[in-house]
Structure 1
Amino acid sequence: MRHLLKTVSTAAAVAAGVLAVSAVSTGAAGAATPGPTSLYAPSDLVLTVGQGEDAATATVQRAVTLSCALKASGTHPAPSAACAELNSVEARFDKLVDASSTVMCTKEWNPVVVSAAGVWKGKHVAWTTTFGNPCEMRAGLANTALLNF
Structure 2
Amino acid sequence: MRYFRTLGATAFATATGLALLSTVFTGSATAEPVSADSATTPGLYAPTALVLTVGQGEHRGTATIVRAVTLACSPTPSGTHPAPVEACRELTEAKGDFTRLGTDAGSRHRPCTREWEPVTVTGDGVWQGKRVRWTATYGNGCELRAATGEGTVFAF
Q: TM-score, normalised by structure 2?
A: 0.68
Instruction: Identify the residue that residue 107 of structure 1 maps to in structure 2.
Output: 114
Tell me which of 50, 56, 63 is aligned to 2:55: 50
> What are the ranges of 5 or more consecutive residues in structure 1 without an aligned counterpart?
1-28
Tell me which of 73, 77, 81 is aligned to 2:86: 81
Question: Which segments of structure 1 move beyond 2 Å, counting only runs of 4 or more?
Answer: 29-34, 97-106, 138-143
What SS does the corresponding residue of 2:108 show, helix, strand or coil?
Answer: coil
| Whole-Å separation in 2 of the counterparts to 1:141 and 1:90 | 14
* Pair member with larger Rg: 1
> What are the ranges of 5 or more consecutive residues in structure 2 without an aligned counterpart?
1-13, 25-42
Pairing 1:91–2:96 present:
yes
Deviation sequence 1:55-86 (CA, Å, 0-9, x none): 11100011110001111100111111111111
Q: How does 1:1-149 map to 2 (within 5 A)?
A: 33-34=18-19, 35=21, 37=24, 39-96=44-101, 101-149=108-156
| Whole-Å separation in 1 of the counterparts to 2:128 and 2:152 | 19
How far is the alpha carbon of 1:32 from its aligned partner? 6.9
**Which letter maps to 2:146?**
A
How far is the alpha carbon of 1:138 from its aligned partner? 2.6
Instruction: Identify the residue that residue 29 of structure 2 maps to in structure 1.
Output: none
What SS does the corresponding residue of 2:120 show, helix, strand or coil?
Answer: strand
Aligned residues of 1:142 and 1:148 also touching (Cα < 8 A): no
How far is the alpha carbon of 1:97 from its aligned partner? 5.0
Aligned residues of 2:107 and 2:150 also touching (Cα < 8 A): no
Deviation sequence 1:103-131 (CA, Å, 0-9, x none): 33222221101110001111110111110
| Whole-Å separation in 1 of the counterparts to 2:16 and 2:69 | 34
CA RMSD for the aligned pairs? Answer: 2.5
Identity %, equivalent residues: 49
Aligned residues of 2:107 and 2:146 also touching (Cα < 8 A): no
**Which letter maps to 2:137?**
T
